[in-house]
Structure 1
Amino acid sequence: MPWNDNAGGGGGGPWGSGGNGGGNRNNPWGQNGGGGGGRDGQEPPDLDELVGKLQDGLRGMFGGGGGGRSGGKGGSGGGIFGAILVALVIGFGVIIWPGRAVYQVQPEQVGVVMRFGEYVRTAPPGLNLKLPWPIETVELPNVTETRTISIGANNIGESQMLTRDENIVDIAFEVQWRVDTANIADFVFNVRNQEEAVRAVAESAMREVVGTSDLVPIITTARAEVSQRTREVMQQTLDEYEAGIQILQVNLERSQAPQSVIDAFRDVDSAAQDAERARLNATAHANRVIPEARGEAAQITQSAQAYRDSVIAEAQGEADRFVAIYDEYALSPEVTRRRMYLETMERILGNSELIILDQEGNAVPYLPLDQLGRNRGQGGQ
């Protein structure tokens, strides 16, 4: 149907014509009392009249009077607006409200509920309720993910640091961190860009630790200590910032002298390793030789003690025997003297050849009967 209705005699819209002052009350925009047909005769709608029609429509739907300001048939226009308003309210309550009031928190997340931008509570994983936007909003940070930041791997400005002994060391390290669930509100509200904050604190902490350490320990034996001290300084700083961030570990990926002097430092490192190897070898040799020397010393000591005891015992025995002989000699000196003489001669002559001399000193041949008897016995065998 065209917008202009010829039956009305003027160029009216779909709500009817206002020509010849007839005035169609079904037009919700209202009409001017003056003549003029078509659009040239219309004026902008009156706001007071629109509000009045809306009130009349609501009263008509809920049992109120239908007269209103428009009089007569004006209640039908107000009913349309009232129906539209009620439909919007019902649609908001049935469709939009549940979608805005019910939300789900994943197992790896924690819900941070804010009311007009102010933190009010923390929601656990699962389905939760809240007041719809814009009253309450929810942030869902991931609290189980271990996040990693690498510093100094590809940036010379980050990697080169000054040590306490005024040397430059080239360091690349990795920081592992995650959200501190005990301070989840601090993580959401106190730091705008958490990753950049961790990066800045990590670089500052590493420079502080390196600045209080010498070069050689950093690149040789103190790598684990540097990592531990850096983690402690980072955690202390982030706790002071109330950032809600937990530092898990700091790993040194590279710790060496600058590239321009790396060869010289490698030579120094090799010399230090050789010295350490020589020291360990010397310690091993000492651990092997010293017990052997102690064992030999103990053996010699024990042998000397045994020899001393045997000599003392033998001397004591001889002394006791001499005392016993002296006692016997004191009782009968002549008998004892003769017995000692005979025993001495027997011991001396027992191993000597027998030669008999006559009074003139000539050797007298004699027949060794004992030898003949011994030889005869051997021949009989």
Structure 2
Amino acid sequence: MVGVLIVLVIALLPIISGCFIITKQQKVQILETFGKYSGFRTAGLSMKLPWPIQIAVATVDLRIQEIAETVEIKSKDNAFLCVPVKVQVKVIPEKVKDAYYALDNPWSQILSYVVNQVRAKASSMTMDEIFSGKSDFEAVVETELKSTFEEYGFAVVNVLVDDPQPSDQLKEAFEKVLAAQRDKDAAVLEKEAVRERLVGRAEAEAESLRLKAKGYADQRNTMAEGNSKAIAVFCEGLNIDHALALKFFEGWDMRDAVREAAQGEGNTVLIPVEMGGMGRMAADLEALKGIGK
């Protein structure tokens, strides 16, 4: 009798153990009774009908899942960019049945929808608007996903769009544009430097001429003032008129000029007639001597 009971217990043990199901935290298990959905079990120890009547066909994760994809887009102004997009989605616990049975491959289908939405939005924006309008992508994708996939049991938690990256062709074009701009800026700076040098040189020359002119004017004024005083003293001392004194000084200047020109060996000095001869200088001296007596 005991042996029969033991055999019976051993025979029924698999059936009894099949009536219990253990589900991990943040997961649910889908149950089917003879192939038909018959509910789900949440975390912990649960009861179910033994196999083959009722079977746990799948485990659904309730945690937030992240789908990431770099989407190649074409802007309204024909610029090709790559936009990194991340979508955070989770299964709605009350809609586990829809999340499991409605979509064949939910994550792939959600990703395809995201790609289509991003490309559609990008085609209506210029490249500058795309770079400055990441929030537009996020808002459009999040709104469309929520309205489309909530009925399938998926909740969109967040949509993140990173900085768009230009394609290799666009990068090369940007580099050419930047290089051309740098060359243009360098040419403008060089032109400005040349202009500054020319202006500075002209201003320096103008200042130099002004100073030279002032120096010449000051020199003439000084010489005129000195000559005027010398003639006045000369005329007062000898009691002669200014015209005769001027002739004397003219001869004096000529003698100094002749003396300077005759310095050195082999120099020949020519005295023009219109400037007065040596006899004239002698006559002027004699006249001055007579007046002095």
User: Scaled by the length of structure 2, what TM-score is found?
Assistant: 0.53
Aligned residues: CA RMSD = 2.8
- Shift, 1:169, TM fit: 2.4
Percentage identity across paired residues of the two chains: 16
Give, in whole Å, the separation in 2 of the partners of 1:253 and 1:182. 32
Hey, what does 1:150 align to over in structure 2?
68
Question: Quick check: 1:199 aligned with 2:111?
Answer: yes
Pair 1:120 & 2:41 matched: no
Q: 1:248 to 1:161 in 2, by over 3 A?
A: same
Are residue 133 (structure 1) and residue 51 (structure 2) matched? yes
Question: Quick one: distance in 1 between partners of 2:147 and 2:120?
Answer: 13
Partner residue in 1 for 2:205: none
- 5+ long unaligned stretches in structure 1: 1-60, 62-82, 153-158, 272-381
Partner of 1:275: none
Aligned residue number for residue 155 of structure 1: none
Greater percentage in strand:
2
Mapped pair 1:179 → 2:91? yes
What is the match of residue 215 of structure 1? Answer: 127
Instruction: State yes or no: 1:163 paired with 2:81.
Output: no
Q: What is the CA–CA distance in structure 1 between the aligned matches of 2:22 and 2:100, rounded to whole Å?
A: 18
Between the aligned partners of 1:169 and 1:101, the Cα distance in structure 2 is: 56
Residues 79 and 170, structure 2, Cα contact 8 Å, conserved in 1: no
SS at match of 1:197: helix
In structure 2, what residue type is equivalent to 1:118? K
Contact 1:162 1:168 in 2 (8 A): yes
Distance in 1, matches of 2:110 and 2:36, equals 25
Distance 1:208 1:181 in 2: 32
Higher helix fraction (1 or 2): 2
Is the 1:102–1:128 contact (alpha carbons within 8 Å) kept by the matching residues of 2? yes
Return the offset for 1:123.
2.2
In 2, Cα distance between the equivalents of 1:87 and 1:201? 59
Query: SS at the partner of 2:163?
Result: strand
Q: Which amino acid aligns with 1:151?
A: E
What amino acid maps onto 1:249 in structure 2?
A: N
Using the alignment, how far apart are the partners of 1:89 and 1:178 within structure 2? 46
133, 136, 158: which one aligns with 1:249: 158
- Does the CA-based 8 Å contact 1:173-1:254 persist in structure 2? no
**What is the CA distance between 1:185 and its match in structure 2?**
0.6
- Report how far residue 265 of structure 1 moved: 5.2
Q: Matched residue of 1:120: which SS?
A: strand
Write the mapping of 1:54-65 to structure 2, written as runs, cut at 5 A: none
Within 2, Cα distance between the matches of 1:192 and 1:178? 16
The 3 A distance-change label for structure 1 pair 160 and 124 is closer
Aligned length: 176
Distance 1:140 1:170, change over 3 A: closer
Partners of 1:238 and 1:205 lie apart in 2 by 14
- The structure that has the greater radius of gyration is 1
Note the residue ranges of structure 2 that are not aligned, 5 or more in a row: 182-293
Contact preservation (8 Å) 1:201, 1:237:
no
Residue of structure 2 in register with 1:261 after alignment: 170
1:110 aligned counterpart, secondary structure: strand
Deviation at 1:89, TM superposition (A): 5.5
The question of 1:227 aligning with 2:160 is answered no
SS at match of 1:254: coil
Question: Aligned-pair distance for 1:88?
Answer: 6.5
**Match for 1:192: what amino acid?**
D
Looking at structure 1, the residues matched to 45 and 166 of structure 2 have their Cα atoms a distance apart, in angstroms, of: 55
